[in-house]
């Protein structure tokens, strides 16, 4: 009888330990939503300073770039939020998706060119490596699309 109770307690302990911890709904992205564009740019610049060992002039130039990016990102988020709340939110058409993809790629090309001007070769190589790592991590987070059943 004691062995049976011990086995049940052990199984319950394993089951409880295997559960995912609750996160209270806080994710990294949600914490950044509450910050202003200046605060986001400042944080991102400081992280890049630590990672890439930027000097003062590089920090100022990168801060300006980060501020412009954060401002446009905030504006896009606000417009999407306003559309969603007003009920005007619709899925973008194929042409709209193509325009958005081209705009994103153009922005990435421009960012890469700016960073190449600001950073030295060693810093630029580190930055590219970090960008590749972030892109790979982001791709891993995307949910796979469910295939529709064919009738």
What digits encode the pLDDT tens for the residues 105-116?
999 999 999 999
- What mean pLDDT is reported for the chain? 85
**What pTM was estimated for this model as a whole?**
0.69
| pLDDT range class, residue 151, cuts 50, 70, 90 | very low
What digits encode the pLDDT tens for the residues 56-90?
999 999 999 999 999 999 999 898 888 888 887 78
Angle at CA of residue 60, ends 57 and 65, nearest 5°: 130
> Does position 148 have pLDDT exceeding 80, yes or no?
no
> Does position 23 have pLDDT exceeding 80, yes or no?
no
The 3 state secondary structure assigned to the chain is CHHHHHHHHHHHHHHHHCCCCCCCCCCHHHHHHCCCHHHHHHHHHHHHHHHHCCCHHHHHHHHHHHHHHHHHHHHHHHHHHHHHHHCCCCCCCHHHHHHHHHHHHHHHHHHHHHHHHHCCHHHHHHHHHHHHHHHHHHHHHCCCCCCCCCC
Instruction: Judge whether 69 and 48 are in contact, CB under 8 Å.
Output: no
Q: Sketch the domain layout of the chain as residue ranges.
A: 35-135
């Amino acid at each position: 009888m004691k062995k049976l109770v011990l086995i049940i307690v052990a199984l319950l302990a394993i089951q409880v330990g295997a559960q995912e911890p609750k996160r209270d709904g806080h994710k990294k992205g949600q914490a950044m939503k509450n910050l202003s564009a200046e605060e986001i740019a400042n944080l991102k610049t400081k992280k890049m300073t630590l990672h890439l060992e930027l000097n003062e002039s590089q920090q100022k130039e990168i801060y300006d770039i980060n501020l412009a990016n954060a401002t446009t990102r905030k504006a896009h988020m606000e417009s999407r939020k306003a559309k969603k709340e007003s009920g005007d939110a619709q899925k973008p058409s194929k042409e709209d998706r193509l325009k958005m993809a081209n705009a994103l790629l153009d922005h990435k090309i421009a960012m890469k060119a700016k960073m190449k001007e600001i950073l030295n070769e060693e810093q630029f190589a580190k930055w590219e490596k970090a960008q590749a790592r972030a892109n790979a991590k982001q791709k891993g987070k995307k949910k796979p699309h469910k295939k529709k059943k064919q009738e």
